[in-house]
Amino acid sequence: MRIATWNVNSITARLPRLLAWLEASGTDVLCLQEAKVAEAQFPFEQLREAGYEAAVNATGRWNGVAILSKAGLEDVVKGLPGDPGYEGVEEPRAISATCGPVRVWSVYVPNGREVGHPHYAYKLQWFEALRAAVAGDAQGSRPFAVMGDYNVAPADEDVYDVAAFEGLTHVTPAERAALAALRETGLRDVVPRPLKYDRPYTYWDYRQLAFPKNRGIRIDLVFGNEAFAEAAKDAYVDREERKGKGASDHAPVVVDLEV
C-alpha cells in the first residue's frame, strides 16, 4: 500500500496537479490538508472518476482536511475530540478513517502565528487534545498513523538555518515538547530518506527563491505506531511536485507499506 500526506494549499487551485499526481504516483491513500473550500465545493466527482472515495472536514476558505482512498473508507470521524477551539470556533483541522488494513488521521496543526499570541497557546492546547485522542490507537496492533502538516520542525537539522528562526514559532521548546509527548503515546517519526539533498525538507516558502536555494523545513510528518513503522519499507519526499507553475509550497510525503 502506498500512503501519503500533502498540504495542497487549496484543492481548487491545485486540482489538476493533484489528479495528475495521484495517477502518476499510484497512491492508495492520501491525507490532504489546507483544502480551503467548503465541503459542498469539494471535488468529490472528479476524485470519484479517478477512483478515490473522499472523507472531508472543511467549512470554507481556511484550513480544511480530507482523506482520499482507493482502499476503502470506513469509520470516519470528523474533527478532534476535545478540540479546544480558537475564539470559540472549532476549526476543521482533523479527520480520521480506516482505509483497508490501516487507520489514519489527516491533521493540520494550528500555525501558532507568533510566540505569546493566543494562537500559539491554542496550538499547544490543540496538540494536547490530539495526544489524548490518538493514545488508544497508538497502542493498538493495527497499523495506525497521524499524518499531516504539524507546523513544527522536530529538530534543528529539520530547518535549513535554525538561526533564521530564532524567537519564532515552529522550533520552540514548547512545540517540540508537544511533539515528544505525542510520540510518547507509542508513535514513531517515520522520517523520509533524503533524495537529492541531505535533509528531506517538505516545505519551502514561495518568497526569496527558497525552493531553488533549498531553504526548507520538515514540518509535514508521518507519526506511526509500531505496526505502521514496521510495515513501512520506504519513505520519501516527492520534491518534483514542488516544482513548476502552480505548485503548492509543500511537497507530498510518501510511505510504502507492506500490509
Q: Which residue has the cell 510495515?
A: 231
* pLDDT values of the chain reduced to their tens digit, one per residue, 259 residues: 999 999 999 999 999 999 999 999 999 999 999 999 999 999 999 999 999 999 999 999 899 999 999 999 999 999 999 999 999 999 999 999 999 999 999 999 999 999 999 999 999 999 999 999 999 999 999 999 999 999 999 999 999 999 999 999 999 999 999 999 999 999 999 999 988 888 999 999 999 999 999 999 999 999 999 999 999 999 999 999 999 999 999 999 999 999 9
Identify which of 131, 56, 59, 142 has the alpha carbon closest to the alpha carbon of residue 98. Answer: 142
| Three-state SS annotation for the chain | CEEEEEECCCHHHHHHHHHHHHHHHCCCEEEEECCCCEHHHCCHHHHHHCCCEEEEECECCCCCEEEEECCCCEEEEECCCCCCCECCECCCCEEEEEECCEEEEEEECCCCCCCCCHHHHHHHHHHHHHHHHHHHHHCCCCCEEEEEECCCCCCHHHECCHHHHCCCCCCCHHHHHHHHHHHCCCCEECCCECCCCCCCCCEECCCCCCCCCCCEECCEEEEECHHHHHHEEEEEECHHHHCCCCCCCECCEEEEECC
What phi and psi, each to the nearest 5 degrees, are found at residue 50? -85, 0
The span from the CA of 257 to the CA of 2, in Å, is 6
At residue 198, the pLDDT reads 87
Three cell numbers written together for 174:
514548547
At residue 195, the pLDDT reads 85
Whether the model clears a pTM of 0.85, i.e. scores above it, the answer is yes
At residue 196, the pLDDT reads 83
At residue 197, the pLDDT reads 86
| CA distances in angstroms from 60 to 15, 42, 83, 197, 259, listed in the order given | 17, 10, 18, 36, 36
Please check whether residue 65 is in contact with residue 92, taking contact to mean a CB–CB distance below 8 angstroms: yes
For the chain, domains (ranges, CATH) are 2-257 (3.60.10.10)
